[in-house]
Structure 1
C-alpha cells in the first residue's frame, strides 16, 4: 500500500443489502446452514447474514488478498471468526473448494459481481480512472496479465474486440487506433494517460452524457484481465448443483453482459424440459429452479441517492426445487 492511500478502507455500503438478506433468509434460518459468499470483498453482505442467523456457517471466497485480509478483520471484530472459513480462490473453483472442505451441499450461494469498494478506493490497484495509478486492474495481484499488457501488446483487432464486447463501446475502433498510435511513442504505464486518450478519442457531443468517457474502456479492460465473464459462465451451473433442495442462489450484477449470463443460466433451470408433443408433464424434466425475482430487480431511488455506486446494480435469485435426474 502506498503512503498516500488510506489505511482504513472507505465506509463500505453493501449494495441491495436488505433485499439480499430477505432473499437468502428462508434458506439460512436452520442451525448449521452453510452460505458460500463467492465474492467476499469486504464481507458486507456476509456480516449482515451472520448477524441475522446465529447458526449460519460461512465459506467466503475471494481472489484478492487485500480483500480477504480486511474481511477477516471485520469478521473478527464482529465476533464471527469461529463460524467462517475464508478461501483464496477464484469463484469458478467453487466445486473444488467445497470438495476439499468436505461440504456436499449448501443452503445459500451469493455473488456480488464487479469491482469491490476496496479495489476502487485504493488507487495503486489501477481500477479507477479518477486518479493516476499503475495500469494494473488484477483482482489477484499474483496473476500475470495486467491492463498495461493488454493495452501495450494486443493487436488493433483484439483491443477493439475487447472494448466493443466487454465495454459495449461504440467508438472501440477509434480508441484502439489511438492506443496503437500512442504506444509506439511510449508504452502506457498509468491510468491517467489512458483515460485522457479515451476522452480525446470520443466525439465531444458524446462526451457530454453518460458519465466519464473512459468508464466503458476501463470496464472492458478489467473484465479481460480477470476473465470475469468466463469465470461467471463456468461457475453458475456448479453453484446451482451445490444447492440443497430449498437452497437459494442470489446474484448481483452491474452491467448488462453479466446480467444476461445470469438470466440465461437461471432460465435453463426454471424451464420445464417436457417436449411440447407430450400430453402431460414429465416429472424428471420438471424445473429444478423457481425464480424469486421478476427480472433483474434494481435498487430503490433512495439507495442510489445514498450510494451512487448502486445505480447499475441488478439482483436475480432462485430457489432449488429438486435435484436433477441422473
Structure 2
C-alpha cells in the first residue's frame, strides 16, 4: 500500500511539471495607450467616436508626392488599435495627385463623409483645394462625393486646407478651414455638395484669431464655443495649439492662451489637434501630433493622445504631453 501511494505522489509531480511546461503564457493586459498610440509617421489626426469604437483619421506624413492615401485606426478602448489601410486614396479621388491632407470626418444619415485637402494649391490658378468623399462604413472605402473640389479658391486670403466640419446646436453644418494665417467659416448644404449663403448672405466669413496659422477645431461645452488652432511653423519645433471661447460659432474669437506646445524631454512640434469627448465617463482627450526629440525632419511626426482638463472657470488647462498616454476607457 505504501508503494501505491508513493507511485501516486510521483505521478502527480510529473503531471504538475507537464502542465507547467505546456502552459501558454498569459497575455499581458495593456492598461495605458502609450505615446505614440500606433506605429508609423502620421500627423493632423482627427479623432471621433462612431458607435462603440474610437476612430482616428490622420495624414500620412511624408513627401507631398507620396501623400496619395490615408489610413485610419480604430479602438474599443483607446489602448488597442486596429489599422485600416488606405481608407481613401487618389484612385477614388481623381482630381488629387499629391498632398492628400488633414482629414475631417462625420456621420450623417447613415453615411460617413470624409473631408480632405488635396494638391496644396498655392494660387487660384492651380487646381485643388478641399474635397469631400463618402462611404457606407467608417473604414471606407471612401469615394469622391462631388467629383471636384468643394472649395478651390483663396477666399479672404485663406489657403483651402485644414478643414474641420462642425454641427451647430440648430443642426446647421459649418466648415472651418484655412492656411496662410487666415481662417474662414462657411455653411454647408444638407448633402455636403456645396457652400450656401449664411443668414447675412455671406459665403465665406473670416474668423481669424490672433496668431492663427492653420488647423482649426471647434467644440461646444456648457453652451460655449471652444475654438482651437495651431500656431508657429509645422515643420519646426515651435508648433503649438492655442484657443478661444465665444458665445457664437462666428466669434469673435479672442485668444486666451497656449494649451499644447513642445516640452523638454518629451517632444517638439506639437500641434494640429482634435478633441474626443467620451460622454459616459465625461473625459476629454486631445489627439495631436508631435516630433520625437531624436528626429529633426519635418515629416517625422507621430500621433499621440493625452487627457484634457478644465478649470473652475471653464478654461482649458494646458495639456501635459506624456509617454504613457491615457488609461483604457472601453466604450462597451
Query: Smaller-chain TM-score range?
Result: under 0.3
Q: What TM-score, normalized to structure 2? A: 0.27
Q: Structure 1 or 2: larger strand share?
A: 2
Q: What TM-score, normalized to structure 1? A: 0.27
